[in-house]
Amino acid sequence: MKLKEILDKTTAFFKEKKFETPRLDAELLLAHGLKLERIQLYLRFDQPMKEDELAVLRELVRRRAQGEPVAYILGYRDFYKSRFEVNSSTLIPRPETEHIVEEVVEWGKSKKTDLGIIDLGCGSGCIGLSLLKEFPEAKLIAVDLSEKALEVAQRNAQSLEVSDRVRFIHTDAANADVVLSAYKDFVGSNKVDVLVSNPPYIAHDDSQVEANVKKFEPASALYADDNGLALIKNWSKQYASSLNHPGIMLMEMGMTQGHASKEHFESLRTFNEISVTKDLSGHDRVIRGET
C-alpha cells in the first residue's frame, strides 16, 4: 500500500468519525509516525509502506479514533511563535489564548524592557514563556498546583532557552503571599508589571464541553466553582493591589463571562481601564485591566 492511499483512507476514516479537521489530523499523524515534515508526505505519495511503518501508523490512528487529541499523540502543540511540549498533565494550548500574549506584547512596546511577569496556572508555560521570548530582559514567575505540569513547563523553558529568566513555583495560585515573595526575590520588586492567566473557568455543569475534552484533558485545569468564575474573581482580587503603575492583568474567560468578569474587575477599584477582548469568532475571551 502506498503513502497516498494510507493518507486518503485515514482522512476518510476520520471524516466518518466526524472529526473537525480530518485531513489535517491525518497529515499530522502520518508525518509524525514516519518522521517526516508534512510537506514531505506529498513528495512521497508513491512510496510503498513497509509493514513496520504500517504498524506504527495503525497505532496512531487507533489512538485518534478513540478521541485522544492529536496534540497529546504528537506530544506537542504549536502556540504563538513556538512549539510546546504537552501531555495529559497539561491543558492543550488553544489559538484563542494567543490573544493574551498579543495584547501584552502590544502594551509592552512603550514600557520598560525588563518586565516582571507572573503567570498563574501556567500549565505547559505557553503564555509566560512566549512573553519571555518577546521581552528578552523580562523575568517570569510561573505558578501551578500540578507538579507534573510544572515538569513539562520546565522542559519547555529549556527548549526555548529561557530557563535562566523563569522560576517555577509549585503552589496554589491563591497563595498570593508565597507567589509574591518569590516574585520579589527573583525580580527584585514588590510590584508586578504583568499578570497573565488562563485559569480554569468552565462551570461544573456546563453541558457544552466536548466529550473528548472531558475524557483526556486535566479536570483541574478546566473547571471552577461559581459558574466557572471563582478563580477569575479570587486570583484577580488577591493580586490586583500588587500591580505596578503602569501594569496590566489579563485573564482568559468563557464566552458568556465577559459581563460578570468586567463587573468584578470594576469592583476591585484598582484599574484605570477595563476592557473585554473578543476572539476571532466574536466571543468574549479575555478580561483586561490596566493600572
Q: How many CB atoms lie under 10 A from the CB of residue 197?
A: 26
CA distance 107 to 202: 28
Residues in the annotated binding site for substrate? 198-201
Whether residue 260 contacts residue 251, with contact meaning beta carbons closer than 8 Å, is answered with no
Distance CA 143, CA 169 (A): 5
**Radius of gyration of the CA atoms of the chain, in A:** 21
- In sequence order, what are the residues at sequence separation of 6 or more whose Cβ sits closer than 8 angstroms to the Cβ of residue 96? 252, 279, 280, 285
Q: Binding site for S-adenosyl-L-methionine: which residues?
A: 121-125, 144, 198
CB atoms within 10 A of CB 53: 17
Bin 227: left if φ > 0, else alpha if -120 < ψ < 50, else beta.
left
CA atoms of 224 and 234, how far apart (whole Å): 11
- Annotation: binding site: 121-125, 144, 198-201
